[in-house]
Structure 1
Amino acid sequence: MGNEGERPENLGRRRFLTATTAVVGAVGAGFVAVPFIKSWNPSERAKLAGAPVVQDISALAEGQQLVLKWRGQPVYVARRSKAMLDLLPTMDSLLADPASDNTGQQPEYARNEWRSIKPEILVLVAVCTHLGCAPEFIPELKPQPFDANWKGGYFCPCHKSRYDLAGRVYSSQPAPANLPVPPYHFADDNTLVIGVDPSAGGAA
């Protein structure tokens, strides 16, 4: 029909160009599709942020602590007794930042004498602010080998930094700052949610 009078070499060239155009079009569509498909997957930033951690703390007794994991880091959750809370105001003279003036170490709603939403429940990122070790929870109010006047709190055995029962660092320690308080809130009286502050999801 329309190609009957064409020379064989012209017909071959036309077929080659037609096939090449189709291949290039398909490859181009593939490059367009890849970023679109990748956008369906969680971003690396979202993966790093991590999902909130929900924990029932109804069985947590006074003087006890549980360890959770959030964003790849350990988080301490401790229940303090009235005696422990009454001791906190007496510690100020021993501490480097008793009033939590380093605002980067806790949300504003935890910048109080307990460094917590509920006075009895302490929530801390369990990473020493010196070199990232995990401090030990030593709640007993009695002399210790590292402190004859120990009033309870956290002790980092790696480089001997000490923190009180609100995670506030003692003066003249290797650690330069208080233990961080992560964002958190209480979904109800016994349900702790770590990773979401009160304004973003739930009653405090």
Structure 2
Amino acid sequence: MSHAEGVNIKRRRVLIASTAAIGAVGVASVATPFVRSWYPSAKAEAAGAAVTQDISAIEDGMMIVVKYRGKPIFVVKRTDEMVANLEKVKPQLSDPESAESIQPEYAKNETRSREPSILVVEGVCTHLGCAPNYRPEVGAADLGGANWYGGFFCPCHGSLYDLAGRVYKGVPAPTNLPVPEHSIDGPILTVGEA
């Protein structure tokens, strides 16, 4: 009698098929987390995603802060007087034409913005990364008196920026505050998309 005569062929096929199926499930369960580890995390995806903000409630002369990619984004609703004062500070600025600044093409203008009344800049000092304070009051004695038309003051090392985020001469900050890609559609500001 040969050895193969006592073997149940159907049973052998069922055992091989079930072993192969269990093996495939095992490989898939190991491969899935491995492949998913190549995908960016939810935090990383959110860090690069555009941020929207309704800016209709911002009062004239006020500022709000929006977080984008871990940085504060200053959004200022400038008054007509604030916009008019931008011309008055030009002689005091290091880069009044924003030639050395990081900004989208549509922000290469006197107001450094899409709309003159809305300023959108990164709220990080270009010197060492501190957060400047919003100081909109004209004539502040501690910031130059009659030569101060409102803007931003960095308390860490004394850098000054005007209400277009342009840096003053003779301060530690080397460049203007960066203008991030953004768009304005009615009352909705989108930071991260043009």
Question: Which band: TM-score by shorter chain?
Answer: 0.7 to 0.9
Q: Which residue of 1 aligns with 2:179?
A: 181
Q: Which residue of 1 aligns with 2:10?
A: none
State the distance in 2 between where 1:41 and 1:123 align.
Answer: 28
Residues 180 and 36 of structure 1: is their aligned pair in 2 closer, same or farther, counting only changes over 3 Å?
same
Q: Which residue of 2 aligns with 1:196?
A: 193
- 1:40-69 per-residue CA deviation (whole Å, 9 max, x = no partner) reads 6647753431x3222221221221111121
Q: Superposed, which structure 2 residues align to 1:96-115 within 5 Å?
A: 96-103=94-101, 105-115=102-112
State the distance in 2 between where 1:88 and 1:194 align.
Answer: 24
Residues 113 and 32 of structure 1: is their aligned pair in 2 closer, same or farther, counting only changes over 3 Å?
same
Q: Which residue of 1 aligns with 2:13?
A: none
State the distance in 1 between where 2:124 and 2:134 align.
Answer: 12
Q: Which residue of 1 aligns with 2:164?
A: 166
Structure 2 residue 117 is the aligned partner of structure 1 residue 126: no
Structure 2 unaligned segments of length 5 or more: list them: 8-15
Q: Which residue of 2 aligns with 1:33?
A: 32
Q: Superposed, which structure 2 residues align to 1:115-154 within 5 Å?
A: 115-148=112-145, 149-154=147-152
State the distance in 2 between where 1:183 and 1:58 align.
Answer: 20
Match of 2:93 among 95, 98, 121: 95
**Residue type of the partner of 2:141?**
Q
**Aligned to 1:145, what secondary structure does the other structure show?**
helix
Structure 1 unaligned segments of length 5 or more: list them: 6-17, 198-204
State the distance in 1 between where 2:64 and 2:24 align.
Answer: 59
State the distance in 2 between where 1:151 and 1:166 align.
Answer: 11
Q: TM-score scaled to structure 1, two decimals?
A: 0.77
State the distance in 2 between where 1:3 and 1:83 align.
Answer: 102
Q: Which residue of 2 aligns with 1:15?
A: none
**Residue type of the partner of 2:171?**
Q
- 1:13-59 per-residue CA deviation (whole Å, 9 max, x = no partner) reads xxxxx8xx96876655544433444466647753431x322222122
Q: TM-score scaled to structure 2, two decimals?
A: 0.80
Q: Which residue of 2 aligns with 1:74?
A: 72
Identity over aligned residues, as a percent?
42
Asked whether the equivalents of residues 47 and 68 of structure 2 are also in contact (C-alpha less than 8 Å), the reply is no
**Aligned to 1:85, what secondary structure does the other structure show?**
helix
**52-61 or 72-81: which moved more?**
52-61
Residues 142 and 191 of structure 1: is their aligned pair in 2 closer, same or farther, counting only changes over 3 Å?
same
Q: Which residue of 2 aligns with 1:155?
A: 153
Q: Superposed, which structure 2 residues align to 1:13-92 within 5 Å?
A: 28-38=27-37, 42=41, 45-49=44-48, 51-92=49-90
**24-33 or 80-89: which moved more?**
24-33
State the distance in 1 between where 2:161 and 2:86 align.
Answer: 11
State the distance in 2 between where 1:79 and 1:34 align.
Answer: 47
- 1:115-149 per-residue CA deviation (whole Å, 9 max, x = no partner) reads 00000110111111111111111111113213222
